[in-house]
Structure 1
Amino acid sequence: MIAAVSWVPKGAPKAVPDEAQLPSKEEIEEMIKSGTLEEESEHGHSEEEDEDTDIEDVEQTDEVSQALAVADALGKTSKSKNSGTKLDDIADGLKELDMDHYDDEDEGVELFSKGLGDLYYPSNQMDPYLKDKDDEDSEDLEDMVINANDSVIVCARNEDDVSHLEVYVLEESNDGDTNLYVHHHIIIPAFPLCMAWLDCPLKGGEKGNFMAVGSMEPSIEIWDLDVIEEVQPCLILGGINEEKKIKKKKKKKKKGKKSSIEYKEGSHTDSVLGLAWNKEFRNILASASADKTVKIWDVVEGKCNFTLEHHTDKVQAVAWNHYAPQVLLSGSFDRSVVMKDARIFTHSGFKWSVAADVESLEWDPHTEHSFVVSLEDGTVKGFDIRTAKSDPASESQPSFTLHAHDKAVCSVSYNRLAPNLLATGSTDKMVKLWDLSNNQPSCVGSRNPKAGGIFSVSFSEDSPFLLAIGGSKGNLEVWDTLSDAGVSQRFSKYMKPNRADT
């Protein structure tokens, strides 16, 4: 399944991403000392064996490693614990292979020739085998390049108990044709639930290309999208305190006492369900959690600045206002939406009650005072904060109530270019497009993208009428919504002049 999709702004990714560097010997030793690898080693050894094991005992040179592999391949490796016997077997294996004379040519052996200089070619271009290989290498290198005009989409995906971020590249040609392919993927340790892209320069420079990921775990991982085959996030916010966890495990083995989980300072204590990056204050990230809290993080400092506890059930979604970046919206399973001002968290804020669990919410990018919230019962409600009541006993009425789908509306997305154009995705497998003009919603397009139950929809900011769709079948779909007659009729006036009709 695809739990979340997110567009990366054009020009943000590196043209050719870096390759991950393997950890050095010193880093591995530090990981062992800190206990990061201890839990894994306990699966194969007793505690006493682990304490007697020293890193120098397991270090091997490349030659010894190769020799062991050769001896094992020849069936020579002894199961005896006698080290002298092992070395003898290795020596026998190497002697049998006679590796010192491996490159020597056998006398009397003649190669058949086709008359082209006894298989000698003046240049690689004339050698069909090398030429083909050069062409393949050139194509592979070309596929790795991300051009400034390419769109990049990231999917938080789970398949066969393997969770990863899939980084797609969408190439758009001048004639309207598109090519969508997976550029690279990043294996992540836990089932992903939400994402938020951010450009805060965590590794120096002016900007970066990072993806914050919330999962079933209480931690938030931030991955560098410009690094291929990365195995560790560049930053982890919160999570379980592994050092104390390992110490408690040892105490538990010795004393037989059950230990409780200890979390890092400021951490969530349950799954992270929603994330929102603040584009104005680029070091700020908001998170919503099943532990009923909302947290405000400073990603540069790597710590939680504030914890908000104004909900009484799981918090599903958070969103920063586009025009007033200190204003934060949160929606919860307690069937409420709360607006807070980050400058005065002591203020109770404003609250709107809804009839079902909140699935998602989003501020209108074309006005500072409107937002929509989608619910588990298939409805979408619009609210105007100017009508909010300061008295908790007084209930603010929605600007409109839209019965959008037959099942839960898991995701909503405003079009950044065309005012009043909203996309909704539901577990009823449908994606619908709405015109919200005058607070009188009307459906202008719908589609069953064959993606299963829809969990995430997102309009592109750079190509605003392209909609990315992810769902239970695990297939990424990209819908050019302007190809729908209803959308084209009402919103084509917002189309870029140089755009080709598709």
Structure 2
Amino acid sequence: MIAAVSWVPKGASKAVPDEAQLPSKEEIEEMIKSGGLEEESEHGRSEEDGEDTDIEDVEQTDEVSQALAVADALGKTSKKNSEAKLDDIADGLKELDMDHYDDEDEGVELFSRGIGDLYYPSNQMDPHLKDKDDEDSEDLEDLVINANDAVIVCARNEDDVSHLEVHVYEESNDGDVNLYVHHHIIIPAFPLCMAWLDCPLKGGEKGNFMAVGSMEPSIEIWDLDIIEEVQPCLILGGIDEEKKMKKKKKKKGKKSSFEYKEGSHTDSVLGLAWNKEFRNILASASADKTVKIWDVVEGKCSFTLEHHTDKVQAVAWNHYAPQVLLSGSFDRSIVMKDARISTHSGFKWSITADVESLAWDPHNEHSFVVSLEDGTVKGFDIRIAKSDPASESQPSFTLHAHDKAVCSVSYNPLAPNLLATGSTDKMVKLWDLSNNQPSCVASRNPKAGSIFSVSFSGDSPFLLAIGGSKGNLEVWDTLSDAGVSQRFSKYSKSNRAET
């Protein structure tokens, strides 16, 4: 399945990603000392029976025993034929004279100056090397991520193996599309959510990183510009392994409760949101009922917000007021707070079902939508929010969008009022929210199974990435739909003119 999809801005990825560095000699020696690697026993000792075996005896007896075994297995030779074949083998071994194999014959030049010294002036003239060079250049070309290539990352699980798949989406001038996996990163736990960030964790002005929330209480941040990486560049929170090992040594055979790093979540991380204005800030939502604000440069939790009474499913930063954070929970409430002030009471909206996802309108600083487990999508205007918890703030609209849970929503970054929804009813729908009177513009079954994640591209705004239970990444060019084109194509034309 694909639990989450995320677009990487064009030009953010390295043209040719780096390869992960192999462990050093010192690191390997340390692994051996710690018992991670076992050295082979000396003098041909058999570990199965614990007895010493003389290697020369094995060499002498193997010739006969192997020949007999082959003859018996084939069942096509008589005893007489077997003896004849053994004689042939013996004659062959005698001719090879293996006992004097390493002795050099006098007068024979191993490196002659005859025809073997012929060479081609260049690899391009040598047909064998030329073909190899062509293959190498093609492999290198496949690794290159061009500035105009779109990059999509999927959080994927298959056969109990979890990984991030980095896809490249190429569009040629004649309209042909090529979507392929560029590389993947194996991750240790089942992924639930992602957030891309460009905070320069390794120096420089920007980076290309993906924060991943999983069934574990930690948040891992991976460098997307490194191929075959085995370790995240940063881990926020999680179980304190040092304390865990100490407890194991003290209390062997007894189960001890986990000890977490300072500021860590204590349950699965269900939602993540990166702050594009304050690039070192990451918000997380957890099944432990808390929302946490992290400083990824410092690698620690700055604030813990405890305003929900059940699992927190989603968080989102306001596009216009980047200190304002929205969170949605299984306690059937949405809360808006100033994340800079942990004691800020905030504003609260009560809803009728568990929250699945939420999103701020990128074209209107006062509006957001929330999708629910019962298949509905509700829109709210924060200008009519009431600080009194006893006073109910009514939604701007209620949309019965799907027959089952609406797991994901995504606003189009270019066309106002265009919203995509994805549901476990296997459908993806596009809505026009104009005047708070939603109307369905297009619907599609992308054959991706239950839909868990939909996301419009920031660079090619009418491309919608879709991930679901079947594990196949789908990309829908929504502008190719007649209903979408009729209502929103003007935004595409104006965008091309500006470009």
Larger Rg: 2
How far 1:173 moved relative to its partner? Answer: 1.7
How far 1:133 moved relative to its partner? Answer: 2.0
Higher mean C-alpha deviation, range 113-122 or range 257-266: 113-122
The structure-2 alpha-carbon separation of the partners of 1:236 and 1:23, relative to structure 1 and needing over 3 Å to count, comes to same
How far 1:25 moved relative to its partner? Answer: 3.4
The structure-2 alpha-carbon separation of the partners of 1:45 and 1:63, relative to structure 1 and needing over 3 Å to count, comes to closer
The structure-2 alpha-carbon separation of the partners of 1:182 and 1:396, relative to structure 1 and needing over 3 Å to count, comes to same
Question: Is the counterpart of residue 375 in structure 1 residue 372 in structure 2?
Answer: yes
The structure-2 alpha-carbon separation of the partners of 1:267 and 1:176, relative to structure 1 and needing over 3 Å to count, comes to same
The structure-2 alpha-carbon separation of the partners of 1:34 and 1:301, relative to structure 1 and needing over 3 Å to count, comes to farther
For residues 331-385 of structure 1, the C-alpha deviation after alignment (integer angstroms, 9 at most, x for no partner) is: 0011110000023221211010111100000000001110000000000000000
How far 1:278 moved relative to its partner? Answer: 0.2
The structure-2 alpha-carbon separation of the partners of 1:100 and 1:235, relative to structure 1 and needing over 3 Å to count, comes to farther
Higher mean C-alpha deviation, range 123-132 or range 405-414: 123-132
The structure-2 alpha-carbon separation of the partners of 1:74 and 1:48, relative to structure 1 and needing over 3 Å to count, comes to closer
In 2, Cα distance between equivalents of 1:407 and 1:36: 48
SS at match of 1:130: helix
The structure-2 alpha-carbon separation of the partners of 1:261 and 1:50, relative to structure 1 and needing over 3 Å to count, comes to farther
How far 1:138 moved relative to its partner? Answer: 1.0
The answer as to whether partners of 2:272 and 2:283 remain within 8 angstroms in 1 is yes
List gaps (5 residues or longer) in structure 2. none
For residues 122-169 of structure 1, the C-alpha deviation after alignment (integer angstroms, 9 at most, x for no partner) is: 654344433322221111111111111110000000000000000001
SS at match of 2:251: helix
The structure-2 alpha-carbon separation of the partners of 1:133 and 1:400, relative to structure 1 and needing over 3 Å to count, comes to same
The structure-2 alpha-carbon separation of the partners of 1:122 and 1:252, relative to structure 1 and needing over 3 Å to count, comes to closer
The structure-2 alpha-carbon separation of the partners of 1:449 and 1:251, relative to structure 1 and needing over 3 Å to count, comes to closer
The structure-2 alpha-carbon separation of the partners of 1:323 and 1:104, relative to structure 1 and needing over 3 Å to count, comes to farther
SS at match of 1:40: coil
SS at match of 1:39: coil
The structure-2 alpha-carbon separation of the partners of 1:250 and 1:276, relative to structure 1 and needing over 3 Å to count, comes to closer
How far 1:40 moved relative to its partner? Answer: 19
How far 1:175 moved relative to its partner? Answer: 2.4
The structure-2 alpha-carbon separation of the partners of 1:114 and 1:386, relative to structure 1 and needing over 3 Å to count, comes to farther
The structure-2 alpha-carbon separation of the partners of 1:152 and 1:450, relative to structure 1 and needing over 3 Å to count, comes to same
Higher mean C-alpha deviation, range 468-477 or range 99-108: 99-108
Higher mean C-alpha deviation, range 63-72 or range 415-424: 63-72
The structure-2 alpha-carbon separation of the partners of 1:83 and 1:112, relative to structure 1 and needing over 3 Å to count, comes to closer
For residues 212-249 of structure 1, the C-alpha deviation after alignment (integer angstroms, 9 at most, x for no partner) is: 00000000000000000000000000000001111xx6
Q: Which residue pairs with 1:100 in the alignment?
A: 99
Higher mean C-alpha deviation, range 197-206 or range 22-31: 22-31
Alignment of 1:72-471 (within 5 A): 123-246=122-245, 251=248, 256-471=253-468
CA RMSD of aligned residues (A): 8.5
For residues 375-407 of structure 1, the C-alpha deviation after alignment (integer angstroms, 9 at most, x for no partner) is: 000000000000101110000000000000000
The structure-2 alpha-carbon separation of the partners of 1:121 and 1:438, relative to structure 1 and needing over 3 Å to count, comes to same
TM-score, normalised to structure 1's length?
A: 0.82
In 1, Cα distance between equivalents of 2:210 and 2:89: 48
For residues 170-222 of structure 1, the C-alpha deviation after alignment (integer angstroms, 9 at most, x for no partner) is: 11122222111111000000000000000000000000000000000000000
SS at match of 2:131: helix
Q: Which residue pairs with 1:480 in the alignment?
A: 477
SS at match of 1:496: helix
In 2, Cα distance between equivalents of 1:150 and 1:61: 63
In 1, Cα distance between equivalents of 2:324 and 2:377: 21
The answer as to whether partners of 1:78 and 1:85 remain within 8 angstroms in 2 is no
The structure-2 alpha-carbon separation of the partners of 1:447 and 1:28, relative to structure 1 and needing over 3 Å to count, comes to same
In 2, Cα distance between equivalents of 1:422 and 1:292: 28
How far 1:22 moved relative to its partner? Answer: 1.4
In 2, Cα distance between equivalents of 1:164 and 1:47: 37
Share of identical aligned residues, percent? 93
The structure-2 alpha-carbon separation of the partners of 1:213 and 1:251, relative to structure 1 and needing over 3 Å to count, comes to closer
How far 1:14 moved relative to its partner? Answer: 0.6
The answer as to whether partners of 1:67 and 1:94 remain within 8 angstroms in 2 is no
List gaps (5 residues or longer) in structure 1. none
The answer as to whether partners of 2:44 and 2:55 remain within 8 angstroms in 1 is no
SS at match of 2:163: strand
Higher mean C-alpha deviation, range 60-69 or range 296-305: 60-69
SS at match of 1:133: helix
The answer as to whether partners of 1:36 and 1:242 remain within 8 angstroms in 2 is no
The structure-2 alpha-carbon separation of the partners of 1:162 and 1:101, relative to structure 1 and needing over 3 Å to count, comes to farther
For residues 65-113 of structure 1, the C-alpha deviation after alignment (integer angstroms, 9 at most, x for no partner) is: 999999999999999x999999999999999999999999999999999
The answer as to whether partners of 1:70 and 1:93 remain within 8 angstroms in 2 is no
Higher mean C-alpha deviation, range 107-116 or range 330-339: 107-116
In 2, Cα distance between equivalents of 1:444 and 1:327: 31
The answer as to whether partners of 2:213 and 2:271 remain within 8 angstroms in 1 is yes
- The number of aligned residues is 499
For residues 414-439 of structure 1, the C-alpha deviation after alignment (integer angstroms, 9 at most, x for no partner) is: 00000000000000000000000000
The structure-2 alpha-carbon separation of the partners of 1:427 and 1:126, relative to structure 1 and needing over 3 Å to count, comes to same
The structure-2 alpha-carbon separation of the partners of 1:125 and 1:250, relative to structure 1 and needing over 3 Å to count, comes to same
SS at match of 1:222: strand
The answer as to whether partners of 1:252 and 1:259 remain within 8 angstroms in 2 is no
